[in-house]
Structures are given as C-alpha cells and as structure tokens.
Amino acid sequence: MSLCELLLTEFDDEMAGTRKTLERVPENKFGWKPHEKSGSMLWLASHLAHLPEWAAVTMQQDSLDMSPNGVSMPQPPAPKSTKELLEIFDKNVKAGRAALAGGNDSELSKPWSLLDNRKASTYAVSDASAPYGPVDAGAKTSLLAVGMKHVF
C-alpha cells in the first residue's frame, strides 16, 4: 500500500468524524465563544470546514505565502447557516481527497514551505517535536500526517 493510500484512509476517517461534529453546530450559538480570547463558534467551525483544502494546497503547490507582497490573504466569507458550513466542508473534502488520490509517494517526499511575505513562517506546525517552528524544509508527508493528527 502506498503512502498516499495510507494517508487517504486516515483522511477519510478523520473527515467523517469532523463532518459529524460540524453537523451539530447550532446556528443559534454561532456567536458563542468557549473563552473570551477564542474565536466564535462560527469562526471555529468555519476554520474546520476550510482545513481539508490544505491537503489539496499541499499536494498541488510547493509553498503557500500567507502574505504575498506583505498583503494578508483575504479571509473567506463566513457561512450563514450550518447547511452552508457543511457545503463548504464537503467541497473542501472533495478537493483534498482528489489531490491525495491523484498523488504519488515521490510527490509526498518533496519539501513544502509555509511563507509569510516570502519568508518561512514561524506560526505553523512543522512537526510534533517543534509545534511552532518554521515550515521551510518539511516533507509534504510530514505536514499532512502531523496536520491530521493535531488538527482533526
């Protein structure tokens, strides 16, 4: 079994559980915050709905600049309902799954970088031993595997 196939199996399992969680996000609690410094329930759920897209980004690109030319990437519009939240999630899961299914093990061994204005970012997960270090030399395999374990 190839590494892509192994990751795909885990991806499917994690996405099924994540979808069940998102199905239970009550619209009348979108504004609720688990802590005063936290994002709202809507922000947190929307963040989860968009994360599967990172599998596609990671497989299709060798880097992602979060602030190209010093300008932050625009935030996606917030969903207005749980139904819309699930539609966003399903679209991103489909894209992420297709990228993993179409990938190969040699592609997974390539380095991947998360950049901030063309410099290695220091706010991203790079590996389990250095959770907030720069992501500038990690293999795509590590990024995808760590992401699934620590995010989903």
Could you state, in order of their start, the residue ranges of all structural domains in the chain?
3-22+43-151
55's CB contacts (< 8 A; 6+ apart) are 11, 95, 96, 97, 99, 100, 144, 147
Q: Which residues is 116 bridged to in the sheet?
A: 119
Q: What is the pLDDT of residue 92?
A: 97
The answer, yes or no, to whether residue 130 has pLDDT greater than 50, is no
Whether the predicted pLDDT of 140 surpasses 50: yes
Residue 24: pLDDT above 90?
A: yes
The C-alpha atoms of residue 76 and residue 81 are separated, in whole angstroms, by 15
Q: What is the pLDDT of residues 81-126, one digit of tens each?
A: 999 999 999 999 999 999 999 988 888 888 888 888 877 765 444 4
